[in-house]
Amino acid sequence: MASHAGSSLFSGLGRLVVLVDDPDAALAFYQGVLGFRVLHDQTADGYRYLHVGVPGQETVGLWLMTATSDRERELIGRQRGGQPLLVLYTEDLDAVREHLCRHGVRVWNEREDADSRSLHLADLYGNVIIVAQLPESAM
C-alpha cells in the first residue's frame, strides 16, 4: 500500500445518505423549509438519484434515498440511532429560529456555550439536525 504521509487520501466529502419514503416530500422540506438546493436529480433504471445541499457547497450534500426494503423503511428517521444527522452553520441563529417556527418546525434544546449558540430541529421524518452559530472570529 502506498504511503500518503502529509497528504490526504480523499479530496472532499460527497454525500450523506438520508433514507426517505417520499423523495418529493423530503425535497419539499429540505428545499422549501431549509433552503437547500437541488444538486442532482436524475432517474435511471427506475431509481431516483436526488441530491440536495447548501448553496455554495455543491460538492457536499444529502442523498435523499428512497428506502426499498422493509429493513430500510424501519430505519427512516432513526438511521443515526437517535444522534444528530448533521450540523448546519448559520450567521444568524435568531433568524433561523423564527423561520423554522413560521414553518411549523419543532425547535428545542436552544443553548449558548462559550464557543457557539445552537438549537435542535427535526426534519419531517424525525431526524435531528443541529443549527449552530459560531463566533464571528471562527467563520
pLDDT at 28 over 60: yes
Tens digit of pLDDT for each residue in 44-82? 999 999 999 999 999 999 999 999 999 999 999 999 998
Q: Span 13-76: which CATH code?
A: 3.10.180.10
CB-based contact 91:55 (threshold 8 Å): no
pLDDT of residue 8: 86
CA angle at residue 12 from 45 to 32, to 5 degrees? 60
Comparing CA positions, the residue from 137, 99, 127, 131 lying closest to residue 20 is 127
pLDDT of residue 87: 96
pLDDT of residue 55: 94
Question: What value does the mean pLDDT of the chain take?
Answer: 93
Structural domain spans, the chain:
13-76, 78-139
pTM: 0.89
Give the strand pairing for 128-133 and 37-44. Answer: unpaired
pLDDT bin (cut points 50, 70, 90) of residue 138 is low
Give the Cα separation of 139 and 4 in Å (integer): 29
CB-based contact 83:13 (threshold 8 Å): no
pLDDT bin (cut points 50, 70, 90) of residue 4 is low
- Return phi, psi of residue 3, to 5°: -85, 140
Give the Cα separation of 70 and 13 in Å (integer): 29
CATH classification for the domain delimited by 78-139, as one of 3.40.1690.10, 3.10.180.10, 3.40.50.670, 3.40.50.80 = 3.10.180.10
pLDDT bin (cut points 50, 70, 90) of residue 91 is very high
Tens digit of pLDDT for each residue in 9-18? 999 999 999 9
Decide if 13-76 and 78-139 have a common fold: yes
pLDDT bin (cut points 50, 70, 90) of residue 7 is confident
